[in-house]
Chains A and B, each alone.
Chain A
Amino acid sequence: MTYYQWFSILALGVCVISAAWHFIRLVRLGKPEDFSLASGKEIPAIVYSFTGAMSPAKKESAFLHLPTYSAGMIYHLGTFAAIAIFFLELAGLISQTGIFYAGAFMLLLSFGCGVGIFIKRLVKPGLRKLSSPDDYISNILVTLFQLSAAIVIMIPSTAPVYYLLAGLLALYFPLGKLKHAVYFFAARYHLGIFYGHRNVWPPKPL
């Protein structure tokens, strides 16, 4: 293994430990006690929280902002794909074949979405005022990670840069909003519990 591979693996270790710490902390605290008598069911509402409630048909943040919503979806898929490429690259399983080129194309598309989201944050005054340096740094790191994943598929000699970027991204994870990778799931879970307990979700016809 090369030094840059070791660097990225160690950085990934830091990232995983941080994510696990946040996750375990939440799990240990458990579900908040609620003494009120439930009028609905929590499990179907939790399922709905992760499924129907996320659809553009139900969520204004999605249906009023379809281009951003679509870009966000592609961007997140691209991130998962770039992480998969990381392990495949580490295992030496990347080849210059059609399927990987298709993957590279998808990553370039997702890179474009990342750039679009970055520009939107930069030019929209309301969004700019809401943003902290962390919002820009997180976006830049993830977007470059995706770009480098696409390039490493096509040009294997760029691997050092790819591993370096992967390592930086992993090391940055504990500091900023990338932690939402853990908290997103917890937020949907708590929302499901809240609305399920009170019989608001899953929705019923009026």
Chain B
Amino acid sequence: MAELTKEQTGKGLQVFENLKDSKLLTHLNSCVHCGLCAESCIYYLASKDDRLTPARKVDIVSSVYRRYFTVAGQIFPSLVNARNLDETTANEMVDLLFGACTMCGRCTMHCSVGVDIGYIVRTGRAMLSNMGMVPATLQSTVIAAVETGNNMGIPTEEFVATIEWMEEELIDEVQNPEAKIPLDQRGKNVLYTLNPREPKFFPLSISAMAKIFFAAGESWTLSSRMYDITNYAFFSGNKNESLLIAKRLFEETEALQAKTVVLAECGHGSRAFRWEAPNYLDRKMPFEIKTSVEVIAGYIREGKIKLDPEKIKQSVTLHDPCNLVRHGGIIQEQRYILKNFIRNFIEMNPCGTDNYCCGGGGGQLAMSEYNDRRMKIAAIKADQIKATGAKIVVTPCHNCVDQLTQISQSFKLGLQIKTLAEIVAEALIID
């Protein structure tokens, strides 16, 4: 790579200038280099490469901070391993922070001090984004979302045609012409969002959720203008692009006067809109935001839907998406749903907030340059699934579905991978 320009370095360091964030300041100064976080990270566990430990990822970001913003780092850089932000450091940052971290946050929970390692990685990614060093593959996904309104660049006509087709399928399946997939309707209770991989490759997952809404008698709509729940700029670290994407969904919800935005099964999208968007927008949201997992659990609790326990005969395990569980507190609901109708449900070990990342998070699935490494670390998840003996893996995240499907193929596990809505729709009792 060419030498960094002064402007690039300056933009990278902007992240630390006039630091007003006590949380960032804290975590930049907290690591004691004990190295005890190594075994909590799938990258280290699968490779035993000590360059890929969480501590090294924290250190490369905080070493740059120390160099320019601490007295010791300015006067005695080698004493505290303070590094210049030059091309060597920047390239290493790209490899470690984009190429060797899914921002799963597992290490944070187990750090001996309590360093929010994922937050430091995000800060490092923001630096690289300011410097124009986001991997091209990830950036092209962000650009597609910014320019077309969805990360797969699906034209509106194609989307509308897919929805109409799914509506016909749904009507056929439930034998009821009232089973609609409403588009762009105002004043509904729910505005439902999608991961663009659904209309593009897996439209049946749209009709699965539509079937659940129909069975529950929900008043809902999709938007043809803004349905994309993903926000890959959250992964690239670009705050302006994250804001732009989040603002579109915010404005569409306002325009359609929906009471609740229901987030499709997408871990990072849920996190980006539920937890981060209010901070991008600098305001509290005037509407409710719920994940589809909470909504489905609510329907069961309130007796709005009923599930047939005889329907799914195979053993089922659950993969907890990191962003939904560790970063979103959705931990019990998916279990409540599955235990309601799955006879043979087996937990992975570890699970819940300790679950291992599938390896596809943090934008990894979008960054093909790291495919080999991504599939190498997937061995941890493959072993975890194998140990359960389950034939079906359910996960409330489309991104995880993609990675788990690849895991099943690469490691010859012969699994069925389903979203929660898909397995619930299968067992749904329609009166």
Contact = CB atoms under 8 A, between A and B. Distances in A.
Interface of A: 22, 25-26, 29-37, 39-40, 49, 53, 59-62, 64-65, 68-69, 72, 124-127, 129-135, 137, 174-177, 179-180, 183-184, 186-188, 190-191, 194-195, 198-200, 203-204, 206
B226 to A, nearest CB: 20
B6 interface: no
B33 A177 contact: yes
Given A62-B112, A124-B35, A206 B347 contact: yes
Contact of A65 (B36, B78, B80, B327): B36
A186 B30 contact: yes
A66 B301 CA distance: 43
25 contacts: A33-B279, A35-B279, A35-B285, A36-B278, A60-B40, A61-B40, A61-B110, A62-B112, A69-B36, A125-B50, A126-B38, A126-B50, A126-B53, A129-B56, A130-B59, A180-B32, A183-B29, A187-B27, A190-B22, A200-B325, A200-B329, A200-B331, A203-B353, A206-B332, A206-B347
Contacts of B278: 34-37
A175 B29 contact: no
A134 B275 contact: no
Interface in B54-100: 55-56, 59, 71-72, 76, 78-81
Interface stretch (B113-121, B124-132, B414-422): B113-121
Contacts of B284: 35, 37
A135 B81 CA distance: 10
Contacts of B351: 206
A184 B114 contact: yes
B114 A34 contact: no
B199 interface: no
A118 to B, nearest CB: 12
Contacts of B27: 187, 190
Contacts of A30: 22
Nearest to A176: B80
B211 interface: no
Interface string B315-335: 000000000011111011001
A188 B25 contact: no
Given A62-B112, A175-B79, A187-B114, A26 B332 contact: no
Contact of A175 (B80, B109, B112, B289): B80
Contacts of A60: 36, 39-40, 110
B110 A59 contact: yes
B25 A26 contact: yes
B231 interface: no
B34 interface: yes
B332 A204 contact: yes
A65 B23 CA distance: 27
A203 B331 CA distance: 9
Contacts of A195: 329
B417 to A, nearest CB: 21
B274 interface: yes
Given A186-B26, A198-B329, 11 more contacts: A22-B29, A29-B20, A32-B23, A36-B285, A61-B111, A62-B112, A177-B32, A187-B26, A187-B30, A191-B116, A198-B327
A176 B72 contact: yes
Contacts of A176: 72, 79-80
A59 B32 contact: no
A205 to B, nearest CB: 8
A190 B116 contact: yes
Contacts of B285: 35-37
Contacts of A49: 114
A206 B285 CA distance: 29
A34 B279 contact: yes
A184 B50 contact: no
Contacts of B40: 60-61
Contacts of A199: 329
Nearest to B353: A200
A29 B72 contact: no
Nearest to B278: A35
B22 A32 contact: yes
Interface in B354-401: none
A116 to B, nearest CB: 13
